Amino acid sequence: MAEKVKKDKTAVNFLMESKLKSDWEEILDELGFSISGVIGILARQMVRDRKLPFTPDASEPKSDVNLEIELQKKESDMTHLLEYAKFLQKNNK
């Protein structure tokens, strides 16, 4: 009969903004993870690879207004490109 090996564990405490924590927990719950589980995965991967498993990005998420402005600019750019393509097609006949 195999013996169970008791893993030596320690508690890790850190502070985080309440809203960030609740938003994070909501996402993790949807994915089937807990904060503790994800922190363990992150720690093991960093120890194994000796680096962060992602590129840090401290920028704020874009607001809906900024995203809408960006989308409108891309649509405008695409419209200009299509008009230019039609112009070239018409004049190269």
pTM of the model: 0.53
Residue 1, pLDDT > 60, answer: no
pLDDT digits (tens, 9 = 90+) for 8-56: 889 999 999 999 999 999 999 999 999 999 999 999 999 999 999 988 8
* Choice between 54 and 77, residue whose per-residue pLDDT is larger: 54
Cα gap 73→65, rounded to integer Å: 12
C-alpha of 82 from chain center: 33
Q: Where are the alpha helices (DSSP H) in the chain?
A: 18-31, 35-49, 64-91
92 DSSP 8-state letter = T
Cα gap 90→87, rounded to integer Å: 5
